[in-house]
Structure 1
Amino acid sequence: MAQTSSAHRVSHFFAKGTDPDELSKALSTSRTSLTAHPAANNDIAFECEFASAGPITLGLCRYEGEMRIKRQSEADNIIILLPRYGRLVLEASAGEILSTPARGVIVEASQDGSLHFLEDRQHLAIAIDQKELRNQLTQILEAPVPGSLEFAREIDLTAGPGMSLMQLATTLYAGLTRDAPLRRAPLALSSLSNGLMQLLLETVPHRLSSEMARTGSSPIPRHVKRAIEFMRANLSAPVTMQQLAAACGVSARTLQQSFRQFKMTTPMAYLHHLRLEAAHRELIQANPGQTVADIALKWGFIHLGRFAADYRARFGELPSHTLRTRAPGGSQ
């Protein structure tokens, strides 16, 4: 399911047929290859309509016949299947999960496995870029969020959060297809897209759910706040662990422990995160003639190759791409 950039441009795609190769092509993207395999001596048919907006792609898909759809490569997204009728089994190394009209499933692209369609099936599929989910979590937790989010793999669709997720996804999909008005309302589209991701992060258990709950209920210690204030005031200057601890009036050990408890990282890793954010902002707003090397060195990144790798891991693109396409006067 092809995805567009985070600018929330809307794209639309329709596929229908009986050829497994055509279905494989319709479901694959430039980053993820999927293949459809009908059961022996079994004919299949499919009809899928996809709409993409920024980091989210939604598709209403109808399948006929028993088949397996297997992923051939990894991608950094999650796929949520919200069934309307029919059963399928998510097959993975961690076990099998049966999806029915009362139970949705979440597939993380880093997992092994396949989808085994047991019978005719229709579901609403949501593909979300995990980078965008991590960005939202970073804002909530005020700390870098690396790696897979490891969502729970089942969603109860009969009540509570699952029902709300189904309703919001249905509304968003209806507003994106064909000539629906949401396609011409970018602010409303962005709000609904962000709302869907926020609902997912707040209501479906994942690796950092407890940290989200703690952020809302536990005040951050004063010495941690002081450390962050000192970091922000000295982002472009050399800063040592000893200087941080002295500025906060605590030992380096205490500061390390507090950052691990309340920010899920170390003080120096948090400083690195703030500097990446600062470099990102300046690359977006760079003046003509500024280079990646200039900006990297300003924010304390001496090793340009390592800076580029860390930047790409955080923002999903190389710093040169940000400078080229988003800075004033850059190509759009």
Structure 2
Amino acid sequence: MRLGEACVTYLQNYQVLSSRDLYETRALLAELNSIDTLDLIERHASFDVSIHGVALGDLQVLHSSFGDCRIQLRTPESDNDALFMIIPTEGGGSVQHQGQNYTISTKRGMIRDMRVPLFADEDRFACLGVRLPKDIIARHCRTLLGNDMPTMDPGFEISLDLDTAPGRHVCNTLNYIAQALDDPLHNLDNSIVLNSLQDLLLTNILMMFPNSCSEQLNGKPKSNAVPHYVKRARDYIHAYAHTAITLETLVQHAGCGYRTLQMAFNAAYGMSPMAYLRSVRLNNAYNDLLNDADGAGVAEIAMKWGFAHAGRFARIYARQFGVLPSETLRKRQ
């Protein structure tokens, strides 16, 4: 389902601000250095601001709405060295940024530089947003490309076409992550799951939205699979499957870019490195279900190995072993 096509709530468990008082909202947002000015254009309109936000690893995911009204806002110049991706979920408007005018709607978003001031005229507007620190984007790009990484950090086109297949894919991915963080992952303290969601979102943004590294990201790696890369990554997976293993961690120990490593794993095992990691964790979960001396249950063992959603764990477990986790557990009992 496209964002904005249905009445969907986002991040309801992570409220930052809720107010119908324009002056209170101005003061709070100014204190956070988020805006310089905020004005209500229609005198009798229904101003009802709601902002929700949650950390996703090194990123921050937000949802904001201002009610059934038209507003104008201006953000200040800042030393915040980050980008901010805006994916509208309702309404639309116009934005002035870096000397250019942009239209935003449920079919067109944007990636803005948070250091540069912005002026926006928004009508009945709501959006999902993601704060993307530039060093984190650059680090993830290096993880994907390895030695093929250009000397310049990736720079994005400001306007985002959300009505294309790549745009819809990023929207759907962000929608999935926002819903997952709200439920069932509310209050989840599991770095394996959260880091994998961060990696998923960063990879989608870099691969799907035009940027200065798009040519390298969408091209073929310069070298084919090298067997010792596979062995290093494979041995690391087996030794540390119980910990958070991200793309960055894996390629660091493999000694090559992710795309090269992925091709090598596909050649060696018929699956990607992360699929191999999942298979190892499933095997470890199987052994725990069969042999755990502490009497841990299915949910506890699934969580231990990074599977936060019990139903999804049961499905992929059954695909790999031909039985449900509960059936394996009964053998132990």
Q: How does 1:24-103 map to 2 (within 5 A)?
A: 24=26, 33-39=34-40, 42=43, 44-64=47-67, 65-74=69-78, 75-103=80-108
Q: How does 1:239-254 map to 2 (within 5 A)?
A: none
Residues matched between the structures, number: 207
1:108–1:150 CA contact under 8 A, matched in 2: no
Matched residue, 2:141: 137
Query: How far did 1:40 drift?
Result: 5.1
- The SS at the match of 1:116 is strand
2:66–2:124 CA contact under 8 A, matched in 1: yes
- The SS at the match of 2:88 is strand
Q: Which amino acid aligns with 1:200?
A: I
1:80–1:107 CA contact under 8 A, matched in 2: yes
CA pair 160-179 structure 1, distance change in 2 beyond 3 A: closer
CA pair 137-25 structure 1, distance change in 2 beyond 3 A: farther
- The SS at the match of 1:200 is helix
User: Over residues 222-248 of structure 1, what are the superposed CA-to-partner deviations in whole Å (9 max), with x where a residue is unaligned?
Assistant: xxxxxxxxxxxxxxxxxxxxxxxxxxx
Q: Which amino acid aligns with 2:138?
A: R
- The SS at the match of 2:179 is helix
Query: How far did 1:57 drift?
Result: 1.3
Q: Which amino acid aligns with 2:50?
A: E
- Please, which runs of 5 or more residues in structure 2 have no aligned partner? 1-12, 225-333
- The SS at the match of 1:86 is strand
- The SS at the match of 1:158 is coil
Alpha-carbon distance in structure 2 between the residues aligned to 1:145 and 1:197: 18
Alpha-carbon distance in structure 2 between the residues aligned to 1:16 and 1:139: 39
1:12–1:52 CA contact under 8 A, matched in 2: no
Identify the structure with bigger relative contact order (alpha carbons < 8 Å, sequence gap 6+). Answer: 2
1:80–1:105 CA contact under 8 A, matched in 2: yes
Query: How far did 1:132 drift?
Result: 0.8
- Establish whether residue 23 from structure 1 lines up as the match of residue 25 from structure 2: yes
- Establish whether residue 183 from structure 1 lines up as the match of residue 188 from structure 2: yes
1:157–1:166 CA contact under 8 A, matched in 2: yes
Alpha-carbon distance in structure 2 between the residues aligned to 1:57 and 1:217: 31
2:84–2:112 CA contact under 8 A, matched in 1: yes
User: Over residues 49-70 of structure 1, what are the superposed CA-to-partner deviations in whole Å (9 max), with x where a residue is unaligned?
Assistant: 1111222211222113222232
Q: How does 1:143-158 map to 2 (within 5 A)?
A: 149-158=154-163
- The SS at the match of 1:155 is strand
- The SS at the match of 1:87 is strand
Alpha-carbon distance in structure 1 between the residues aligned to 2:127 and 2:83: 16
Query: How far did 1:20 drift?
Result: 4.0
Query: How far did 1:170 drift?
Result: 1.3
Query: How far did 1:29 drift?
Result: 8.4
What's the TM-score, normalizing by structure 2? 0.54
Query: How far did 1:181 drift?
Result: 4.8
CA pair 58-103 structure 1, distance change in 2 beyond 3 A: same
Q: Which amino acid aligns with 2:18?
A: K
Matched residue, 1:197: 202
Alpha-carbon distance in structure 1 between the residues aligned to 2:150 and 2:37: 34
Matched residue, 1:314: none
Matched residue, 1:283: none
Query: How far did 1:80 drift?
Result: 1.4
Q: Which amino acid aligns with 2:173?
A: L
2:64–2:127 CA contact under 8 A, matched in 1: yes
CA pair 38-79 structure 1, distance change in 2 beyond 3 A: same
* Identical positions, percent: 13
1:175–1:183 CA contact under 8 A, matched in 2: no
Query: How far did 1:100 drift?
Result: 1.1
- Please, which runs of 5 or more residues in structure 1 have no aligned partner? 1-10, 221-332
Query: How far did 1:130 drift?
Result: 1.6
Query: How far did 1:25 drift?
Result: 6.0
Q: Which amino acid aligns with 1:16?
A: S
What's the TM-score, normalizing by structure 1? 0.54
Alpha-carbon distance in structure 2 between the residues aligned to 1:194 and 1:146: 22
User: Over residues 30-89 of structure 1, what are the superposed CA-to-partner deviations in whole Å (9 max), with x where a residue is unaligned?
Assistant: 7x5423421456363311111112222112221132222322132111111111221121
- The SS at the match of 1:174 is helix
1:50–1:60 CA contact under 8 A, matched in 2: yes
CA pair 193-207 structure 1, distance change in 2 beyond 3 A: same
